[in-house]
Chains A and B, each alone.
Chain A
């Protein structure tokens, strides 16, 4: 038997190897490479070829099963029992089952489950089927004249002795005397062994007998699973290859027409694409810049963080003893510490208007100091740039202007969740003849409505360089309250006329921070989550576009 099987396997392997070599021979280059490989490292090459052969054997098995099933269904309506079908074709039923699952998954066939419960012997059961039940073994060990318990125990296996005593007593085959055990009957039938053998042969037995054997744990149930098969909606005599993708190769060869594609999982997202993202604050800045341009404003150059106290404070008619000029609020510079060049005639006019007034004003009546005006600082507002621009405008024949800027300013403030020592300030100003407070209010309504703030109200405030001065409040529908959004006013004549601007020229202006509306827009409640080195890069990546100014 063994010799025959071995010979059969050997023949199969030889046959497969022959086929492989024949295939390789058709491709000269590869054949040469193969031959070279065999000569150089015969053992490895032979092992690889052998492994390929073994693998082919397995693949052939399942391929045969698939071919058999699909071929049979081509001419017949159904396969009633996959077990019987496997027996008829001489194919292992497990292979049939595997193939059926695959074919059913791809809708080539419709499969209905078939279940049969059968009983199989446990290890203990198999032992008793071979050598007989323990009670029979015990009975046979008891001689006619009787035997002592001790002697009997030595004769038998301990478990056989134990179980045998119980069962033999139950069957009343032996008499358990004080000194001896003796037979009570002359002959017994081993029914247990007979039943076990019947089960092993697949015969049916009574339910009572099954229960008895089950209690003794000699048998356990086993469920046999099979299928009955019919043609499925995607039935075809041969299986189409299923690929995951359309590729250049199968496109060019035209093979795609015969291919079947695996389904996509649409509940998953696509592949994340590598790329960058724009910072939310700067996205808002870009939109605000666009809004100013649409309103006819041009941008002021704000590329100077270092500023002179003169342009930052004095030119704006802010007295030198004003608290804002305290070192607790302003970053004064150590290097470079002083301003080198200022327009001297303008400086003299500023000095005069501070000390003794003019242009209809009575001034602040204090001794103005040049050294104070010469101090350098980090600008505390972008109005410093506005003062420079207005001064330059005054040196030319007058023309109306609309300016804006959005850039960073610096204040010596304690950092908390709503304040930073540096932030972005937005500023807009209009310079024209005969402007009124009403014009300022109109411009503010236009500007803020583009930011989505349609309800505005104004409150009096004090600023040293604007008069009147107004705080701007907007009603926030989400917060259900009025929120301060900015500051505004008309520049004082004491600021404008020393520059040389005509008397009937007025300048209206307003400002707000960039951070606050951005935080409100994106629902960020800590300014450090938005600006600075503690910002979460994930936030920047996921942050949506800013649609301010886009309806």
Chain B
């Protein structure tokens, strides 16, 4: 059988001389020698013994050369280090944070929360005062261009299939112009609470049974579940509020002195339960679920191998902190009644 040197080198992806090839083939007990060069092409004559019935095609000879050369010795630095061949399409990668967010979104939806999508822009008042927070001027990104803000707002109007969201554009526009400043949210809470405020006319069943003694059946809770995502460099962190509100699946923006533009996005998760009772234990169950799905165990306070819950002195112990591997990554609790009033939610 005659095999050309270019065929062997071309398929293996190396550059071997005739002498090397014949040496390798002889090592594999295929007797090989260079053919007389009466033409310019370099050929190798191989004598195949009868015991090698598997040699049918020149590619079988090529394989023996490759085996003798060593599969693990075949390394094209460009191919291996660049994770792809020059002749192949570029190798692509998705962003890990977005991938993780999508996985968690699915897990939260599997336990009955409905996802919503709300605005990134909000008023400065909504970001701080209405949430009973102080603006320490170190977190919010402020937009100074009123006209541009209006445009962005209009572009951002989105009807989400899962939400019965109605926006009075005229009222919205008027409301916008009356604001002194508009900020990019540093928390998912304003958007999530506004969803509840705008869904407050959702019908509620009420049953009253009159008999010898008056008896009012307990009103079923008005359940409207929503989830958004959040994450920081320290890993997953959650900001889950119990009480009223909706969930947003989006980033928030905070000031960061170490960035070239002075700000960065944080990915967060926010969820809300809305019913006649606060439902702290349901949101707590959601926290446990999200942690379990990230393979994080529930541990005793002080243990850094997992997560635990500790008390925060807000609304008489109704808020809690999530400590994950010694770091505070999230909080959950009952929305303060004053905040509910601020967002015009009279009937939680």
Write the residues of chain A forming the contact surface with B, with a CB cutoff of 8 angstroms: 29-30, 33, 36-37, 40, 245-249, 251-252, 256-257, 259-261, 263-264, 266-267, 269-278, 290, 293-296, 357, 359-364, 400, 402, 430, 432-439, 441-443, 445-446, 449, 457-460, 462, 467-470, 490, 492-494, 506, 542, 544-547, 549-551
Contacts and interface: CB of A to CB of B under 8 A. Distances in A.
Contacts of B286: 270, 273
Contact of B285 (A245, A263, A272, A278): A272
B285 A269 contact: yes
B40 to A, nearest CB: 20
Nearest to B58: A360
Contact of B83 (A293, A442, A494): A442
Contact of B94 (A445, A458, A545, A549): A549
Interface string B50-67: 000010111110110011
B57 A360 contact: yes
Given A437-B71, A442-B83, A494-B56, 10 more contacts: A246-B337, A247-B276, A269-B298, A402-B88, A436-B13, A438-B14, A438-B74, A492-B59, A544-B295, A546-B103
Contacts of A441: 71, 74-76, 79-80
B287 A270 contact: yes
Given A261-B318, A402-B89, A269 B288 contact: yes
A240 B14 CA distance: 86
A146 to B, nearest CB: 81
Nearest to B104: A545
B347 A437 contact: no
A535 B59 CA distance: 46
A246 B161 CA distance: 31
Given A275-B112, A550-B100, A357 B276 contact: no
9 contacts: A266-B311, A270-B282, A272-B288, A273-B111, A359-B57, A362-B57, A435-B87, A490-B11, A545-B294
The residue among A246, A266, A549 with the most chain B CB atoms within 10 A of its own CB is A246
A460 B64 CA distance: 10
A438 B285 contact: no
B348 A545 contact: no
B114 interface: no
CB-CB nearest 8 A-B residue pairs: A270-B284, A438-B13, A275-B111, A436-B13, A442-B79, A544-B295, A270-B285, A446-B83
Nearest to A248: B276
A461 to B, nearest CB: 10
B93 A545 contact: no
A274 B112 contact: yes
A544 B292 contact: yes
Interface of A is mostly: mixed
A270 to B, nearest CB: 2
Contacts of A270: 280-288
Nearest to A433: B87
Interface string B302-317: 0000001111000111
A266 B320 contact: yes
Contacts of B213: 33, 37
A551 B233 CA distance: 13
The residue among A293, A295, A363, A462 with the most chain B CB atoms within 10 A of its own CB is A295
A188 B58 CA distance: 136
A356 to B, nearest CB: 11
B71 A470 contact: yes
Contacts of B160: none
B85 A435 contact: yes
A277 B108 CA distance: 10
A457 B74 CA distance: 11
B251 to A, nearest CB: 18
A296 B293 CA distance: 29
B103 A273 contact: no
B88 A273 contact: no
Given A256-B337, A432-B88, A446-B83, A544 B71 contact: no
B320 to A, nearest CB: 7
Contacts of B10: 434, 436
B122 interface: no
Contacts of A260: 316
Contacts of A29: 214
A33 B212 contact: yes
Contacts of A460: 63, 67, 71
The residue among A251, A259, A293, A400 with the most chain B CB atoms within 10 A of its own CB is A251
Contacts of B309: 266
B107 interface: yes
A43 B65 CA distance: 108
A271 B284 contact: yes
Nearest to B225: A273
B47 interface: no
A547 B285 CA distance: 23
B338 to A, nearest CB: 9
A478 to B, nearest CB: 16
A547 B88 contact: no
Contact of A432 (B87, B110, B280): B87
A430 B66 CA distance: 20
A296 B88 contact: yes
Contacts of B316: 259-261
A497 to B, nearest CB: 10
A135 B294 CA distance: 83
A296 B90 contact: yes
A439 B317 contact: no
Contacts of B280: 245, 264, 270
A251 B57 contact: no
Nearest to B100: A550
Given A278-B110, A436-B13, A438-B79, A30 B300 contact: no
Given A261-B316, A270-B286, A545-B293, A296 B89 contact: yes
A274 B112 CA distance: 8
Contacts of B112: 273-275
B56 to A, nearest CB: 5
A460 to B, nearest CB: 5
A347 to B, nearest CB: 20
A237 to B, nearest CB: 19
B32 to A, nearest CB: 17
Nearest to A432: B87
B276 A493 contact: no
A272 B285 CA distance: 5
Nearest to B69: A437
A296 B52 CA distance: 39
B153 interface: no
A363 B282 CA distance: 70
Contact of A438 (B76, B288, B315): B76
Contacts of A467: 57, 59-60, 62-63
A549 B99 CA distance: 9
Nearest to B341: A251
Contacts of A551: 96
Interface in B331-348: 334, 337, 340, 346-348
B79 A252 contact: no
Contacts of B289: 272-273, 275
A30 B11 contact: no
A293 to B, nearest CB: 8
B258 interface: no
B327 interface: no
Given A270-B284, A360-B57, A277 B317 contact: no
A353 to B, nearest CB: 10
